[in-house]
Amino acid sequence: MALGEALRKRRSVRKYGDRPLTAAELGALCFAANGITGELPGRATKTIPSAGALYPMELYVVANAVEGIEPGLYHYDGGGHQLELMALGSFREKAFRACYGQKWTMKAAVVFAMSAVYERSRRKYGERVDRYIPAESGHMSQNLYLQAAALDLGTVAIGAYKDSDWNALLGLDGTSESVIYLQVVGPLPDK
């Protein structure tokens, strides 16, 4: 799909169909959000812009319904374009509660949690990270929106969530690394 068409199709969608996502769809979404696209001297470049190419953002996946992938918590490794298993099991209910009961989280095939490792940027930019990191999470989110549109999937970003619950769910301390944005994705409902 051409970028212009994906931009025209981009919408926040809160109702999802019943089919699971395919592993290829999940892979395309992960790559769009935080995949490796090239090399600079001494470091990789990614699909999102980053101040100083320091890339403080990490991507976690709560897989609820993806063909060939066990339900569970995963970390996306952009360098290897693979999911790293953190824990197996259904985390749908915990994600729902940690999102203040927003009902579309229960139906979503996947919940993406975007976190920031602050020191990656702070050592160069100091307190400017308070401006740069939220922008970078927005870049990740927009890439997810555009990739979902290109794949005929629905998605919506979520800013209302319980920080401490999400950090605990992912084993983050909330200080050196913290969840700063969420996004759910699911198949479009049958018409």
- Tell me, what's the pLDDT at 39? 87
**pLDDT band at residue 156 under the 50/70/90 scheme:** very high
Q: How far is CA 69 from CA 7, 72, 85, 94, 181, in A?
A: 29, 8, 10, 19, 23
Q: How many domains, in total, are found in the chain? A: 1
Range of the domain at 35: 3-187
Other beta carbons within 10 angstroms of residue 76's beta carbon come to: 23
**Stretch 148-167: mean pLDDT:** 95
The four Cα atoms 154, 101, 95, 177 give a dihedral, to 10 degrees, of: 100
CATH number, domain with residue 146: 3.40.109.10
Among candidates 63, 75, 80, which has minimal Cα distance to 25? 63
pLDDT in tens, 95-141: 999 999 999 899 999 999 999 999 999 888 998 888 999 999 999 99
How far, in Å, CA of 46 to CA of 12, rounded? 24
